[in-house]
Amino acid sequence: MELTVATKLGQEGNIVTVDGSIQEHLGKKLEKLEARWGKPVTARAALEEVAVGYDCTLTITLHGTPELISHGHAETLVKAVDTAVERVTRQFEAEADKRTGRERQRKNGTSKPVIS
């Protein structure tokens, strides 16, 4: 899995400092998605300090599908990351449901019901 974490300047010009624990936390959560997908996953996280709390924008590229983008906002950085991961997980599950449905169709060999 390829993970890139970027920080943005806040409103007061402060840069969010990201220690290793945030990257490890995010990496563990995203490794679970990668294991369920079965293909390489590329993730980009943009962290920003705003007037009240933190924002986290998470962009995940699942090879073979469009990008999944989620935003999380919370008072602490870890909660903002968790919120973004939860939202992208819901998008991932919807995409995985589509994928399994298509695989079932290919396996059974029927694309549309035959009406006679």
Give me the pLDDT at residue 86, please: 93
Backbone angles phi, psi at 26, to 5 degrees: -65, -40
* Whole-number pLDDT of residue 92: 87
- pLDDT recorded at residue 116: 57
Distance in angstroms (rounded) separating the CA atoms of residues 91 and 58: 12
* Regions of the chain where pLDDT drops below 70: 1, 9-17, 100-104, 106, 109-116
* Contact by Cβ (8 Å): 16, 48: yes
pLDDT of 95: 81
pLDDT of residue 4: 78
pTM (2 d.p.): 0.74
Q: How far apart are CA 2 and CA 65, in angstroms?
A: 16
Fold for 2-8+15-101, please state it. Double Stranded RNA Binding Domain (3.30.160)
pLDDT of 16: 67
Query: Could you tell me whether strands 2-7 and 41-49 are parallel, antiparallel, or unpaired per DSSP bridges?
Result: parallel
pLDDT at 6: 77
Q: Cite the DSSP H helix spans in 1-116.
A: 20-37, 77-108
Q: Which residues contact 52 (CB under 8 A, 6 or more apart)?
A: 75
pLDDT for res 57:
92
Helices and strands in the chain, H and E counts:
2, 4
**Residue 110: other Cβ atoms inside 10 A:** 10
